[in-house]
Amino acid sequence: MSELARFAELVRAAKRGVAFTGAGISTESGIPDFRGPQGVWTTETPVYYQDFMADRDARVRAWQRGARMFRRCADARPNDGHLVIAELERRGHITSVITQNIDGIHHDAGSTVVIELHGTNRRSACQHCGKEWPTSAVVERVEKGDEAPDCDACGGPIKTSTVSFGQGMPETEMRLALEAALQADLFVSIGSSLVVEPAASFPRLAKRAGAPLVILNNQETPLDDLADLVIRRNIGETMMALLRSPTKLQSLVAGRWSRFIRPEFGFRFQALAP
Ligand SMILES: NC(=O)c1ccc[n+]([C@@H]2O[C@H](COP(=O)([O-])OP(=O)(O)OC[C@H]3O[C@@H](n4cnc5c(N)ncnc54)[C@H](O)[C@@H]3O)[C@@H](O)[C@H]2O)c1
Ligand SMILES: [Zn+2]
């Protein structure tokens, strides 16, 4: 059985599947990842939370990058990978998305249960009093020359609502992700290098709790040996092919009776899967 057919069988059998996504799912929407071949970290080092709070220069650097990243994300549209995940939720195979991404694109694609482990860059907040703004409003200030914007209520530093290095993980999201992983009957890791902890521990936990583990990523990951299925291909085309992959019965019928099947019926078969 081909790896795609096996993937399709696992997805069809799932009723509580979890899609666990990383930066790789958004590269086809034009947002660079961190550790892929064109990754951002070949040229830039991260700003730690403690430095952000202590040092205005660090805030200026963080907002230069933050504003650029925000504009990129705001211009981005869901790609086939995001859209197929939302479709699999509608078909009852996937119950939640756990994402390390901060771009918010799973929401735009129509996924309704999205656990954002590293927060979102769509909102920003004062680090002293908690007042919130849409990041678009803060980025406008940055672009007009306010290089490290402060809160108009208390003067505290404003930061995107993303989890920086040196910051703790959000408790609610960690708990929800843990519950989803432990209850999953399929866990699919999509576009993550699986080297960032504790996020990478969720595939391990789900597998230990009995879920088959599928890893879809175009590079090796440290968990490949643990996975039931590793697909080292591009995400968009693979997810689209998954949706079109015929069921066993359809393959059998198509194989035996192919000379009787007119092309329009073949298309209808595809539209029914998985
Ligand atoms: N879009 C975003 O929100 C975004 C972008 C960059 C970084 N980040 C943050 O950086 C951290 C990076 O960790 P990570 O594991 O998510 O990402 P990562 O950058 O460490 O790994 C991404 C992986 O996806 C693979 N990949 C890239 N495009 C692919 C494609 N089209 N098809 C198949 N595989 C593809 C890469 O080879 C790489 O192994 C995350 O915690 C996230 O918060 C988020
Ligand atoms: Zn404030």
Q: Which residue has the tokens 């990243």?
A: 69
Question: Are residues 234 and 216 part of one domain?
Answer: yes
Q: Give 256's pLDDT tier (boundaries 50, 70, 90).
A: low
CATH code (residue 59): 3.30.1600.10
| Region 138-153 average pLDDT | 98
Structural domain that includes position 56: 41-75+120-162
**Longest Cα separation, the chain:** 75
**Residue 272: strand, helix, or coil:** helix
Residue at 36 is within a domain: no
| Percentage of the chain modeled with pLDDT above 70 | 87
Q: Measured between alpha carbons, how far is 30 from 46 in angstroms, rounded to an integer? A: 20
Question: Are residues 110 and 125 part of one domain?
Answer: no
pLDDT for 250: 67
Question: Are residues 82 and 69 part of one domain?
Answer: no
| Region 127-155 average pLDDT | 98
Examine the residue annotation and report whether 118 is marked as an active-site residue of this protein: yes
pLDDT for 258: 53
Task: Specify the pTM.
Answer: 0.90
CATH code (residue 83): 3.40.50.1220
Of 82, 106, 118, 128, catalytic:
118
Question: Are residues 233 and 99 part of one domain?
Answer: yes
Q: Among all ligands shown, which has an atom nearest to the Cα of 129? A: 2
* Whole-number Cα distances in Å, 132 to 66, 107, 166, 173, 263: 16, 20, 21, 19, 55
Query: Which of ligand 1's atoms lies nearest the C-alpha of 221?
Result: 39
* C-alpha 110 to ligand 2 mean position (Å): 33
| Region 180-197 average pLDDT | 95
| Region 2-17 average pLDDT | 96
Burial environment of residue 53 by CB neighbours within 10 A (0 to 12, 13 to 18, 19 or more)? middle
Q: Please, are residues 17 and 188 in contact by the beta-carbon 8 Å criterion?
A: yes
User: In this structure, which residue's CA is closest to atom 32 in ligand 1?
Assistant: 234
Q: How many Cβ atoms are within 10 Å of 159's Cβ, its own excluded?
A: 25
